Amino acid sequence: MGIKLAETAGFCMGVKRAVDMVLEIARNKGDKKVYTYGPIIHNPQTIELLRKRGVVPVDSIDEIQDGIVIIRAHGISPLEKKKIREKGVKIVDATCPRVASVQAIIRKHAALGYTIIIVGDKEHPEVASLLGYSSDGGTVINDKEDVNDLPLYDKVCVVAQTTQDSVRYKEITKEITQKFPEAIIFNTICDSTEKRQAEIKDLASEMDGIIIVGGGTARIHRDLP
């Protein structure tokens, strides 16, 4: 039987970097408390492994007392960061550099008076963090129909949640440029997910079965499109 390991198997760059940072801190923490603000990644086994090494995920800033707080790969808003800093704890920022660069685009354009349109999932922690950089001049949309409901803004800057689908983003930004011809559009989609999906499709045509090892489940997929 032939077994082939996908080239894209494993964590993406941002998640690997964050997990490595947490493991390093856990190794050297001594008797300090270590928290991650929100789960560091969406993978219960990894969260459990980190918990066994003394790293506690917290969902509320009120749960943080003293010690070290690690900011997840999705990032957090400047306001949340300020509140954590006020606790007097040490902050280690494991925000993925690709997310950090979207934060920087938003911060810069919000300061220049642009309304920021974020194409993404309102409920996702990354989007919540991005919105926090827009100085209250931000709005989140998830569909091209949402464009109709937008007021007629003067200056518009558009970014995507890093894990958005690029075809959908293209459709939505096309709609946006029809309504706001001067809009500045950034392609902030990270290609990690797309590369994985493309490789799975290729492997599906070549292999009899595909085993995906991930957060909590391993499933065998057949007949992928």
Residues within the interface to ligand SF4 (CB under 6 A): 12-15, 73, 96, 98-99, 162-163, 190, 192-193
In the numeric block, which tokens belong to residue 84?
């954590």
Active-site choice (80, 86, 126, 175) = 126
State which residue, 12 or 159, has the beta carbon closest to ligand SF4.
12
In the numeric block, which tokens belong to residue 185?
């559009």
Residue 188 CB, nearest distance to ligand SF4 (Å)? Answer: 9
Residue 211 CB, nearest distance to ligand SF4 (Å)? Answer: 21
State which residue, 12 or 89, has the beta carbon closest to ligand SF4.
12
State which residue, 104 or 111, has the beta carbon closest to ligand SF4.
104
> What is the four-CA torsion angle of 138, 142, 144, 150, rounded to 10 degrees?
-30
**DSSP-derived 3-state class of residue 126:** helix
Q: Is 206 a catalytic residue?
A: no
Residue whose beta carbon is closest to ligand SF4: 14
State which residue, 103 or 115, has the beta carbon closest to ligand SF4.
103
Residue 152 CB, nearest distance to ligand SF4 (Å)? Answer: 32
Are 14 and 99 in contact, with CB atoms under 8 Å apart?
yes
Residue 14 CB, nearest distance to ligand SF4 (Å)? Answer: 3
Distances (CA, A) of 166 to 14, 48, 55, 106, 134: 19, 33, 35, 19, 23
Are 175 and 169 in contact, with CB atoms under 8 Å apart?
no
**Sign of the CA dihedral 104, 109, 111, 115?**
negative
Find the DSSP H helices in 38-163: 44-52, 78-85, 97-111, 125-131
H or E element at residue 205: helix 192-206
State which residue, 115 or 129, has the beta carbon closest to ligand SF4.
129
Distances (CA, A) of 135 to 92, 103, 110, 171: 23, 11, 6, 27
Return d(Cα 48, Cα 22) in angstroms, integer. 13
Residue 139 CB, nearest distance to ligand SF4 (Å)? Answer: 21
Q: Which residues are catalytic?
A: 126
